[in-house]
Structure 1
Amino acid sequence: MNILLTFDSFKGCMSSDEANAVASSVLQRYFPNDDFIALPLSDGGEGWLVAYQRAVGGQLIPVATHDPMMRRITAHYLRLGDTAVIEVARASGLSLLQSEERNPMRTTSYGTGEILAKAMLDGCRKFVVGLGGSATSDAGIGMIRALIDVLAPSGRFDDIDIIRQCSFTLGSDVTNPLCGERGAAHVFGPQKGADAAMVRALDERARRFAEASARHFGYDRSRETGAGAAGGLGYAFMEYMNATCESGARLLLRAAGLSRFLPSTRFVLTGEGSSDAQTLMGKLPSVLLSETRDCHPPVPVYLFAGCVSDRERLLAAGFAEVRGITPLDQPLVKAMRKDVAQRNLRVAVAEWAQHFGQTDI
């Protein structure tokens, strides 16, 4: 039988690969006759490119680009034939900034546009874009500007013929619209460094941009599901490039071939940094749960997280078990250390395996 390990990253302390490895090292003692299959996964944010390459192969292509503060960096996209897989966080990510640099009034998605342009000039015509982990809230204005600068000598976006030859699929766990109380600025702006005044200014800027774009194109995608992803990059892709938006976790699970493993799977272990009611809004563990329900009988999914709230709601949704790995008396600063997070996961998985026993799982 298979045992599937499908941990998302524990942001800031443990990658998907590292979490899978910790769980595997523990469980092999309890299930010596089973095959362990580790699927490094991402919902579209950090780790998207690595996880996608692990799933399908491909070549990482370096691109000279700019970070959110317009400093020169080298980022990469993943090429598979005429398909380019792009992780927005590589050029426009929050992890590229020091905490004191977080200011979405200044940060730009320009670098993501440069990666897109390079991939188009390299011959790519199909794009799979992971939205998440961005430092920006510019509604994709920076990305559009970069595409114009690189691909349109006339200075007009409408003259970029190559874009009309391309297709774009967005991977994201965000369902928010571009503007309003549930929009990109109000919901995600504060974690990117915005205070209340900045949030209002960012939301107003996005609204004006969407209104001007709607007048130009004759349609408005700002209210569509996922338009608020990555600080409004989702909107720019949909409005300007006719992109479609899907669950990032589902896209990656499909690429990794999850369905072919499930019929012979004993159980699935998954996890993330924090699990609560938001987990059920399209994040990786909930997508896994929905995929395993299609099996007969359903494959049980066990969820481990750095911290857990709404546990009863998560159990009611169908998880076979939900466990927080961080001791209640452990300070968050200590729990976020990589060595401590790995030890906490190791202990939690071992306690779980000992409690249930192989024959009870």
Structure 2
Amino acid sequence: MKVVVAIDSFKGSISSLEGSKAIASGINKVYPDAEIVCVPLADGGEGTTEALISATNGELRNVEVTGPLGTPVKSIYGILGNRKTAVIEVAAACGLPLVPVEYRNPLKTTTFGVGEMILDALRQGCREFVIGLGGTATNDAGIGMLQALGFSFKDAEGHEVSQGGGSLSLIRSIDTNRACQELDQCVFRVACDVHNPLFGPDGAAYVFAPQKGADPVMVKELDEGLASFAEVVHNELNVDVGQIPGAGAAGGLGAAFAFFLSGTLQPGIELVLDIIGMEQKLADADFVITGEGRLDGQTSMGKAPLGIARLSQKYGIPVLAYAGGITKEASVLNGNGITSYFPIVSGPMSLELAMDPKETKQNLRRTAEQVFRIIRAVKGMS
């Protein structure tokens, strides 16, 4: 029997790899000789770097960059096993957890550190980039990142604008002549699971800025700044950057990657599955196991378990999904490639206990063992 185990992390509890090993040990209690292929998984968000590094035998690189408040922060990105592809989660440089609640102000926070991470990867010889968007404390349309990379954004008097979303409305001209030359040799693949435009009612400011500390007055100012910036880009560079699907992702970083760095925005799970070569790993599999901390209506909107299920469905492979919690909305997953799903919690318990790493691993191990006991009894598989 061959089983492919590809679960997302149980966020706040255990990593994808830890969960996969627990499931594998449960299966081996029933099928000691089973071929179990554990594939760390992520959907382009938190945990993507770890998953891709593990899957490709890559390495992590520690760097100090400019944080969202303009002060130094210690950050991490990955270089895949091919030694030419860097994996960067933008939140590692400008994520919301890096800003204490009382200092959250997207008029001031910057993405400058993301550009510094890219520059470091360029110095390591990387020319291909996998970028995970999301979780930022910023709303600066990526101008901070671009400034770090040599782009220049000037006000009406010809002075470089300062960092932060509050500077967008001051920009009157854009100079790309001093941009890092190596960028012309680079390919950016960007994991982006939202389709929000840069500005407007569904744009970066109105949809995402409140959770980053913006009050209604700030949201309006940020949105006007994004619209003004888009107009300058249109006038200077002849492109309607504001209407690019996904331009509003990560406070406008989607727009910066899509236009200024010629990046390709695509669903995160599709990008991850392609990089790790999941189709090849599914060859001859009898079962696929996926899962995440919570299966709900959001899972059916493109998260990791759905991506695995759809790919497995293509080859007619049964898919079992495990989760710490399952809502009634998860029933739609049965029509999207997931054969059966199972909650791993054994009985009533506090959320704190349910998310305890030791408890989670034990629950995954036990659930896998019991499910495969049924499989052995019914199918008599060896």
User: Is 2:202 the counterpart of 1:182?
Assistant: yes
Q: Which moved more, 1:178-187 or 1:14-23?
A: 178-187
Q: How far did residue 265 of structure 1 move?
A: 0.7
1:55-107 C-alpha deviation (Å, 9 max, x unpaired): 22334343321222223123233334443322212212234345555443443
AA aligned to 1:46 is E
Give the TM-score of the pair, scaled to structure 2.
Answer: 0.82
Tell me the residue number matched to 2:5.
5
Does 2:329 match 1:306?
A: no
Change (3 A) 1:31 1:175: farther
Residue pairs, 1:118-267, within 5 angstroms: 118-148=120-150, 156-160=175-179, 161-267=181-287
Deviation of the 1:253 alpha carbon: 1.8
CA shift at 1:343, angstroms?
4.1
Give the Å deviation of 1:23: 1.5
Give distance in 1, aligned partners of 2:107 and 2:131.
24
Could you say if the C-alpha distance between residues 165 and 257 of structure 1 is closer, same or farther in structure 2, counting changes exceeding 3 Å? closer
SS of the aligned residue for 1:120 comes to: helix
Q: Which amino acid aligns with 1:304?
A: Y
Structure 2: tracts of 5 or more residues without a match: 153-158, 161-174
- 3-state SS, counterpart of residue 226 of structure 1: coil
Deviates more, 1:73-82 or 1:273-282: 73-82
Tell whether 2:40 aligns with 1:40.
yes
Letter in 2 for 1:305: A
In the alignment, the residues of structure 2 paired with residue 279 and residue 196 of structure 1 have an alpha-carbon distance, to the nearest angstrom, of 30
Map of 2:336 onto structure 1 = 317
Q: Once superposed, what is the RMSD of the aligned Cα atoms?
A: 2.9
Separation in structure 2 between the aligned mates of residue 195 and residue 340 of structure 1, nearest angstrom? 40
Task: Judge conservation of contact 1:104–1:137 (CA < 8 Å) in 2.
Answer: yes
AA at the equivalent of 2:258: M
1:302-321 deviation per Cα after TM superposition (whole angstroms, max 9, x unaligned): 22233333122122223111
The residue type equivalent to 1:8 in the other structure is D
Deviates more, 1:55-64 or 1:268-277: 55-64
Asked if 1:293 is matched to 2:313, the reply is yes
Q: 2:87, 2:114 → 1: CA distance?
A: 12
Secondary structure in 1 matching 2:70? coil
Distance apart, 1:351 and its partner CA: 4.7
Q: Structure 2 CA distance, aligned partners of 1:186 and 1:234?
A: 16
Structure 1 length as normaliser, TM-score? 0.86
Aligned to 1:21: 21
CA distance in 2, matches of 1:335, 1:210: 46
The residue type paired with residue 112 of structure 2 is Y
Rounded to whole Å, the distance in 1 between the matches of 2:208 and 2:4 is: 32
Q: Name the CA shift for 1:100/1:17 in 2 (closer, same or farther; >3 Å).
A: farther
Residue 180 and residue 16 in structure 1: after superposition, are their counterparts in 2 closer, same or farther (change >3 A)? farther
1:66-77 alignment, distance < 5 Å: 66-77=66-77
Q: 1:328 & 1:231 partners in 2: Cα distance? A: 41
Q: Are the equivalent residues in 1 in contact too, given 2:269–2:303 (CA < 8 A)?
A: yes
Q: What is the match of residue 301 of structure 2? A: 281
What whole-Å deviation, never above 9, does each CA across 1:107-133 have from its counterpart, x for those lacking one? 321110111122234443222212233
How far is 1:234 from its partner? 1.4
Deviation (angstroms), 1:269: 1.2
Could you tell which deviates more after superposition, 319-328 or 82-91?
A: 319-328
Superposed displacement of residue 274, structure 1: 2.7
The count of aligned residue pairs is 356
SS at match of 2:282: helix
For residue 14 of structure 2, what is the amino acid of its counterpart? M
Question: Match of 1:315, as an amino acid?
Answer: N
C-alpha displacement at 1:191, in angstroms?
A: 4.0
Task: Name 1:55's counterpart in structure 2.
Answer: 55
**Which range moves more in the overlay, 312-321 or 154-163?**
154-163
Q: CA deviation at 1:344?
A: 4.2
Pair 181,18 (structure 1): closer, same or farther in 2 beyond 3 Å: farther
Does 2:98 correspond to 1:96?
A: yes
Structure 1: 5+ residue runs without aligned partners? none
Moved over 6 A (4+): none
Q: Distance in 2 between matches of 1:145 and 1:15?
A: 34
- Alpha-carbon distance change, 263 to 105 in structure 1, aligned in 2, over 3 angstroms: same
